[in-house]
Structure 1
């Protein structure tokens, strides 16, 4: 494989959320917003994650055009209707969990209890708060890895013209804010259409809700979280007790 151009880092980051970030009406069954940042080395993305997920799709669907989506997978709808068979679902979930467990990646995460946030004086936008805290986590990780002066791309799934425009503006505002501290974030943002069937974003989608459930229902069985918590950035585990890692203004 040809080496990566020197201006780009060896890492790539996939970002996705669980729950909506609105504070006007809060879902009593899921009153939380979670934003995850999956950090992979590009070599591991290309040579481990991509072939293993494609192989998983080929075995269980007969093709690799299907998009792995946590909601459809959990509900057993659309392409995942075959998971209504207990044996097939167990086999599929065991293989998928094994891929997540064996994949070398690091996971940044911000989880916000929206009811608690709403009670603060100036709650702000949960997505923007989570984005700022998450970018700090990713930046700290890359700095510790010696990735300085090289551009790292963060990939987000497209949500809509207005939503993407607002997110991009906030992203660059935070980059400029960090520049005022003496060093700008070495980041760039990329928006990917869901139809692109991007495997990195599918991984992020699969991880966000299990984190939310681990906070809301800590006693409930959650095998995805049990394997992925080993990937959480060390500083997250040091700063927070148990599974309740939260971000507030």
Structure 2
């Protein structure tokens, strides 16, 4: 059985300039089977067509929250209510798993300094570990396609090297043999290519990062998706 792992991030992974109000960095993986991915695409496509009859916009968390650009339609309260009701229904009912790994950059620098491991690569390695550990328990899983959002040639090449190293050498928690159990490939795509898995990763990353920043804060979006998170909530954050 073929699985996809769609990867997106929330926050800036740089350690030199840290936003006091939002020091979180999080990698969010959406793990989904090929069949379920097709179902999810169909549901999202119908929803987009309902609200935008003449085109299908790319879902982007920040623009939706700000009611910006194509999402100005959400300034109408009735439309906004219906939009979120339909979106939440899809996110809640469709079959997929969320694998988020994040860190508080202030705490990370305090513990390891500015010369610690690259937060992006560190979080991504942990996402891969959790993903492979899960797939080993799925008797029919035999292929994994990792899809990441393009960030830039230099960044993508550096990340491609890191991913290749993980796949070829394994990790502390999963051996080379564990990775070799699956046909693993990876690719980089623009979000504008309308891959719904990348859009779901984008939509779910922010509420999870917000939860990590303040578990007690009102966070209805997180409440909708929390049940989809693969690992225990207390293990999302790298300490």
Contact 1:176 1:184 in 2 (8 A): no
In structure 2, the CA distance between the partners of 1:183 and 1:119, relative to structure 1 (3 Å rule), is: same
| CA distance in structure 2 between the partners assigned to 1:179 and 1:93 by the alignment | 39
Contact 1:36 1:204 in 2 (8 A): yes
| CA distance in structure 2 between the partners assigned to 1:68 and 1:81 by the alignment | 13
CA deviation after TM superposition for structure 1 residue 45, in Å: 1.0
Q: Match of 1:55?
A: 46
Structure 2 alignment gaps of length 5 or more = none
- How large is the RMSD of aligned CA atoms in angstroms? 1.7
| CA distance in structure 1 between the partners assigned to 2:19 and 2:140 by the alignment | 40
TM-score (ref. length: structure 2): 0.91
Alignment counterpart, residue 177 of structure 2, candidates 178, 183, 190: 183
Structure 1 alignment gaps of length 5 or more = 1-8
Alignment counterpart, residue 131 of structure 2, candidates 138, 156, 163: 138
| CA distance in structure 2 between the partners assigned to 1:206 and 1:64 by the alignment | 20
Q: Match of 1:5?
A: none
Asked if residue 166 in structure 1 is aligned to residue 158 in structure 2, the reply is yes
Show CA shifts across 1:187-245 (max 9, x none).
21111122211111111110000000111122222222112110111xx21xx54xx73
| CA distance in structure 2 between the partners assigned to 1:50 and 1:64 by the alignment | 15
Contact 1:133 1:247 in 2 (8 A): no
Contact 2:168 2:176 in 1 (8 A): no
| CA distance in structure 2 between the partners assigned to 1:35 and 1:83 by the alignment | 27
TM-score (ref. length: structure 1): 0.88
| CA distance in structure 1 between the partners assigned to 2:161 and 2:207 by the alignment | 29
- The count of corresponding residues between Structure 1 and Structure 2 is 232
Show CA shifts across 1:111-136 (max 9, x none).
11111111123521100100110000
| CA distance in structure 2 between the partners assigned to 1:63 and 1:227 by the alignment | 29
Alignment counterpart, residue 219 of structure 2, candidates 218, 222, 234: 222
Q: Match of 1:115?
A: 106
